Amino acid sequence: WGAPSHATANAAGHIGLRTALPELTALFDAPLLADAGLIEARVVRTALRAAAEGEPVPLDGLADLVSTELWLRRLVTRRGTCWTGTAAPRRRAVAGGVVPARRTLQP
């Protein structure tokens, strides 16, 4: 009864991450967000592994990255929506794909 504790929600998040870790790291093996120059895939994979092991990592940020990567992949392949179905489209939403960004910051 009452509101669940914050610890319970975090524990559930870590269990979910441990369970889905192979699929999540595979998603970020060659992410479109990295192709666009928005993230470094290695850093995201490291954060996913750390979060799955229970280290203090902002889970909300990881959830946003995963959902944005999935959205971008769907946009590029344009596999339909709940209104149009999932049949292959006649043309892609992003015909040229994601163009890798030019590096503007030098390490």
Position 60 scores a pLDDT of: 80
Contacts of residue 41, defined as CB under 8 A and 6 or more positions apart, other chains included, come to 28, 29, 30, 31, 34
Supply the pLDDT for residue 8: 74
Q: What is the pLDDT of residue 69?
A: 94
Residue 24 near residue 57 (C-beta atoms within 8 A): no
pLDDT score at 18: 92
Question: Given this model, what pLDDT does residue 9 score?
Answer: 72
- pLDDT at residue 103, as a whole number: 58
pTM, 2 dp: 0.66
pLDDT at 102: 62
For residue 31, what pLDDT is reported?
Answer: 93
Token pair belonging to 70: 């999935």
Q: Kindly list the domain boundaries of the chain, sorted by start residue.
A: 6-62
62 vs 87: CA distance, rounded Å? 30
How far lies 69's CA from each of 27, 48, 97, in Å? 8, 14, 13
Residues of the chain with pLDDT under 50: none
* Chain-centroid distance, C-alpha 91: 25
pLDDT, tens digit, for every residue of 69-96?
999 888 887 655 555 565 655 655 565 6
Which pLDDT does position 11 carry in this prediction? 79
